[in-house]
């Protein structure tokens, strides 16, 4: 059983579309992270959340602690958003990191 | 500020050998974490070092070990390499805060075991 589940696994969108990626987790957490990984392997941390909502440019991340669920939204998607998006959690005991399997996003011009 | 650097970027080793990977964190960051990424298992947490002490450890065999130096640079060692150790090894550094922390990732070292 995976501690972190992401959906969808793969996503293809037309440029300009609104995109949502979902993440559910089963452990108690102190924080949830959204990461972006481009081809070639480099990982960038997009958001770290422990409650509520954060916005950075066209990206919005929300978390519902009671439902153990988070969403990453991309507004007005662009081909440069094409990447793998990974949800990760810090547990609140032992400070372990668990990762989702990632969502591969392709935005077509 | 320079980002997290990892050396080497690519490495080819033979089964049974050992390997040492290096990670230099962002200046001022005292926590360094190591991760393994494979196509089959995805990203998995190896261990975290803070102020030269291992603070957290994932579920990996004892062949995987690490250390951190007084300048916060960290090394990861894998002994008796197996084919399944072929992976992208990533390190990440973070500020010295308690609890949850934002991580800054290095470019990774791609290890191939033949």
Give the mean model confidence (pLDDT) for residues A14-43: 93
- State residue A1's pLDDT score: 65
Inspect the interface and report whether the beta carbons of B100 and A48 lie closer than 8 Å.
yes
* pLDDT band at residue A4 under the 50/70/90 scheme: very high
Inspect the interface and report whether the beta carbons of B90 and A102 lie closer than 8 Å.
no
Q: How far apart (Å, rounded) are the C-alpha atoms in residues B20 and B87?
A: 14
Buried b (16+ CB within 10 A) or exposed e, B39-59: eeebbbbbbbbbeeeeebebe
The helix (run of H) or strand (run of E) holding residue B55 is strand B53-57
- pLDDT tens for A53-94 read 999 999 999 999 999 999 999 999 999 999 999 999 988 876
- State residue B32's pLDDT score: 94
Question: Residue B99: which of A30, A41, A96 has the nearest Cβ?
Answer: A30
Which positions of chain B have pLDDT values less than 70? 1, 96-100
Residues present in chain B in total = 114
- C-alpha distance from B3 to closest chain A C-alpha (Å): 11
Buried b (16+ CB within 10 A) or exposed e, A52-70: eeeeeeebbbbbeeeebeb
């Amino acid at each position: 059983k995976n501690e972190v589940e992401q959906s969808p696994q793969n996503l293809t969108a037309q440029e300009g579309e609104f995109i949502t990626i979902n993440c559910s987790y089963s452990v108690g957490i102190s924080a949830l992270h959204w990461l972006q990984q481009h081809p070639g392997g480099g990982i960038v941390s997009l958001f770290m959340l422990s409650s509520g909502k954060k916005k950075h440019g066209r990206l919005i991340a929300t978390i519902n602690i009671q439902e153990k669920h988070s969403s990453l939204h991309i507004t007005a998607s662009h081909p440069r958003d094409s990447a793998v998006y990974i949800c990760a959690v810090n547990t609140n005991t032992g400070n372990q990191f668990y990762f989702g399997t990632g969502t591969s996003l392709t935005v077509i011009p | 500020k320079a980002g997290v650097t990892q050396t080497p970027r690519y490495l080819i080793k033979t089964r049974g050998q050992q390997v040492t990977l290096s990670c230099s964190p962002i200046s001022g960051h005292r926590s360094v974490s190591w991760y393994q990424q494979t196509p089959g298992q995805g990203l998995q947490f190896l261990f975290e070092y803070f102020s030269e002490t291992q603070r957290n450890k994932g579920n990996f065999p004892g062949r995987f070990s690490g250390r951190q130096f007084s300048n916060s640079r960290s090394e990861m060692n894998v002994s008796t390499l197996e084919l399944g150790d072929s992976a992208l090894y990533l390190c990440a550094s973070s500020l010295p805060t308690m609890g949850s922390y934002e991580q800054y990732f290095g470019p990774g070292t791609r290890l191939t075991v033949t």
